[in-house]
Amino acid sequence: MDMRCLCQQRAILGESPVWSAAENAVYWVNIPGKKIHRTNPETGRTRAWSLPARPGMIALRRKGGLVVALEDGLYGFDPGSGRLDRLVGIEADQPDNRPNDGKCDVAGRLWVGTVNITDGSRPTGSLYRVDPDLTVTRIESGLRVPNGLAWNPTNDVMVHTDTRAGIVWSYAYDAKSSERLAKREFFRFDRGKTGGVDGAAMDAEGGYWTALFGGGMLIRVTPDGRRDRDIPLPVSQPTMPAFGGTDMKTIFITSAARNLVDEVLKSQPCAGGLLALRVDVPGHEVYPFCG
């Protein structure tokens, strides 16, 4: 299997890879390091921008640049100047929370979850929708570690999980109204045995690819909930996959070096870095934020 380590930055918690076709590059974040990175997959050259707070996630922005969810809200980010512009606050009343996993739907609405930064077992997190007019709507509360967000190729199914709950759910999704409708169990996982479902990406056939944090594995789940592919990784803490490349058949995978002792770090030189894996099915389009 064609797998490479593109960048060995030793991020404590690398997350949220985003493919920019216009720049032929992958953006990703180091949450505790308060940085946005941009890596050229051909050369491995990586540029970093420092941020004033921890970034939970990033997404492309239709008007250019990125949006980044920092601890106090959503910001526009211009890679050319390094400038941040505050767009809207999220959870100003929850100082112990920060944004976590997030993505945009086909209409350019940003969906983003929040997690407790002092105790991940506390159900203080929520799932929000940020519309292009910057209206913020709480969709669900009582979450611990919201993760695994993705939509199928026809944009009528939304997939989401709480990593600590052990169940990935799918919802019938109305892209016009942005409503989550019928909820059903998609598949189960045992976080203690196999690692927990973290970030996810969807391929053009409706296959759901997710990183098992603590399990050192990237898996693919078919639309009917069958786990049909297990790909061992050279890191024990993969965090999120994202499709990219000119043919959308490369999966970029962020990872973490969090709480790994020196002996383990020596045996995992790519831990905290960015991996690239070639696959035989292209990825489903990931949409930019329209706000």
Among the listed residues 72, 198, 224, 247, the single catalytic one is 198
pLDDT in tens, the chain (291 residues): 688 999 878 899 999 999 999 999 999 999 999 999 999 999 999 999 999 999 999 999 999 999 999 999 999 999 999 999 999 999 988 899 999 999 999 999 999 999 999 998 999 999 999 999 999 999 999 999 999 999 999 999 999 999 999 999 999 999 999 999 999 999 999 999 999 999 999 999 999 999 999 999 999 999 999 999 999 999 999 999 999 999 999 999 999 999 999 999 999 999 999 999 999 999 999 999 999
Q: What is the DSSP letter of 13?
A: B
Active site residue 2: no
- Give the other-Cβ count within 10 Å of 15's Cβ: 22
- Contact between 44 and 27 under an 8 Å Cβ cutoff? The reply is no
Q: Which domains does the chain have, with CATH numbers?
A: 3-278 (2.120.10.30)
Cα angle, residue 191 at apex, residues 184 and 225 outer, rounded to 5°: 30
In one-letter notation, the amino acid at residue 251 is I
- Contact between 75 and 67 under an 8 Å Cβ cutoff? The reply is yes
